[in-house]
Amino acid sequence: MSTEFPTYNIQAFQRHEPDVPFFMTPLEKLVREFKGIDKSHSHTFYLLMWIKEGKGTHTIDFRTYEVGPHQLYFLTPGQVHSWELSPDIKGYNLFFEPNYFRSRFPNRLFAYPFYHSHQHRPLLEVADETFVSLYELMYQEYTAAEVNRSEVFLSYLHIILEKANRVYQNQWPGESTHYYDRIRQYEELLEEQFLDIREVKTYAEQLHISPNHLNNICKTLLGKTASQLLYERIIIEAKRLLTHTALSIKEIGYLLHFEDPSYFVRFFRTHTGQTPLDFRESQNR
């Protein structure tokens, strides 16, 4: 049985400057120098991964994507991912702390659907050469010891995210709506409180809207109820613990605040079609 996956902060990466809230490196260099980075892990920061050349697979919270040129991957803090990449892989990995971006754009992260961690595709197919140029300019800025480097880097980051948002809306036009900020706020509350709060009403109160309105927003954008999003978040955490720890089913149930282990088993089976044990065994084959 595998041990629990590591969670990295930006300071974990080699030669990173202390207290700098962003990091950028060629993907091939990261793979070569940071041993074990291909194994399951999570981060405390936001991630953008640009694939310029190469192929492979990228697994994000139990969903596997085929890696190929001209792809952009987006990950939020807490997501678990791993990859298998070909030796000729080339691209860039860019990490940034949430508060770094929010220092200039306080609410803008809510507007990006690709950062709706569990409900939207974390992947864009981007053939536009502008992204190549932007990434190269960003890396030049990152490696230069110039004045106002942090401000210029943040400007490039903002441009990339806005251009990615434009491409996303073109590729998935039905998903564009002014309700995105509410969904993202709800997701953030779920990330912080899903272990302790299991009532949609309490989340709606924190968002200053009615439970019915929150449900309507979720159904309009995602075709799911607010309760379904809550249950899916619990299931993702259960799957992580079943796959990446040696804890017993009973211990995992308690960690997820199920007082009765048999109720945890029923809950998991209802929402996945498998018992926790069956799921664990399927991951270890």
The region of weakest confidence among 156-160, 165-169, 213-217 is: 165-169
Both 119 and 241 in one domain: the answer is no
Asked, for residue 2, whether it belongs to a domain, the answer is: no
pLDDT for residue 206 is more than 90: yes
Q: What is the residue-wise DSSP string for 150-190?
A: HHHHHHHHHHHHHHHHHHHHHHSGGG--TTHHHHHHHHHHH
**Confidence band for 130, pLDDT divided at 50, 70 and 90:** confident
Both 222 and 265 in one domain: the answer is yes
The pTM assigned to this predicted structure is: 0.77
What's the pLDDT at 235? Answer: 95
Asked, for residue 268, whether it belongs to a domain, the answer is: yes
What's the pLDDT at 2? Answer: 40
Which residue segment(s) compose the domain that 132 sits in? 7-175
**Confidence band for 181, pLDDT divided at 50, 70 and 90:** confident
Both 139 and 204 in one domain: the answer is no
Q: Which amino acid is at 8?
A: Y
Q: How far is CA 58 from CA 4, 67, 113, in A?
A: 19, 6, 19
CATH (domain of 21): 2.60.120.280
Handedness of CA 228, 230, 232, 238 (dihedral sign): negative
Portion of the chain with pLDDT greater than 90, in percent: 60
Both 201 and 276 in one domain: the answer is yes
Structure tokens at 233: 């978040």
What's the pLDDT at 52? Answer: 93
Asked, for residue 149, whether it belongs to a domain, the answer is: yes
